[in-house]
Amino acid sequence: MNIGTLVYHQHSHGNLRLGTIVKKSIDQGGWAQYVVNWHDDRAHLKATDWQTKMRNDKVDRYNITYRADELTPVNPEHLSRALSGYMEGTINRVTAGLKER
């Protein structure tokens, strides 16, 4: 994975996060570490705020860097086709319901 790669991270809250790698470095243990610009991350921030409030333990849960095994690359073309297929299916289901009336 390199700068500019689209990635996802499945957070423990069940939130699927999508973002773009903006920085890469190698730590002392040899692991690649990444900084990610997360896209439309409101659900994750809300869940993290809630978790921090409920635990009340002063732990910073807002990760800045992610180890290579915490991220998975995403093929933007595949994602686009999958979303298009989902949207077409939704439209077909809605219009099918309208025709039945």
Sign of CA dihedral 27, 32, 38, 44: negative
CATH 2.40.50 corresponds to the domain 6-74 = yes
Q: What is the pLDDT along the chain (101 residues), one digit of tens a residue?
A: 999 999 999 876 677 889 999 999 999 999 999 999 999 888 777 777 777 788 877 666 667 899 999 999 999 999 998 888 888 876 666 566 666 55
User: What is the pTM assigned to this prediction?
Assistant: 0.74
Reference 16, options 34, 42, 35, 54; nearest CA is 42
Segments making up each domain of the chain, as ranges: 6-74
> Which 3-state string (H, E, C) describes 28-78?
CCCCEEEEEEEECCHHHHHHHHHHHHHHCCCCCCCCCEEEHHHCEECCHHH
How far is it, in rounded angstroms, from Cα 3 to Cα 41?
19
